[in-house]
Amino acid sequence: MDRFIFLMLACILAGFALIKVPLSWSFFASLHPIIHFIGVLAVLIFSLVLIYKGIMAILGKHK
């Protein structure tokens, strides 16, 4: 399978990890809204890229 696809899946998992990371008792507790936003943004962007690549593969227009 293409390494690019595995990279996108790893980025989605990293986004979910940023969403779920417990920061309540750490130094980064004040950054929780920013870290949560970055995680959601990562999941959305990389999921959309995977959907786009899948549609292009179905239509036969992939590289």
Query: How many other C-beta atoms lie within 10 A of the C-beta of residue 11?
Result: 16
pLDDT at residue 60 tops 90? no
The pLDDT value given to residue 1: 59
Summarised one tens digit per residue, pLDDT across range 7-41 is 999 999 999 999 998 888 888 888 899 999 999 99
Q: What is the DSSP string of the chain?
A: --HHHHHHHHHHHHHHHHHH---TTSGGGGGHHHHHHHHHHHHHHHHHHHHHHHHHHHHT---
Do the Cβ atoms of 42 and 12 come closer than 8 Å? yes
Domain count, the chain: 1
* Residue 5 binned pLDDT confidence (cut-offs 50, 70, 90): confident
pLDDT at residue 62 tops 80? no
Q: Model-level pTM? A: 0.81
pLDDT at residue 51 tops 80? yes
Range of the domain at 10: 3-59
Alpha-carbon gap, residue 30 to 35, rounded angstroms: 10
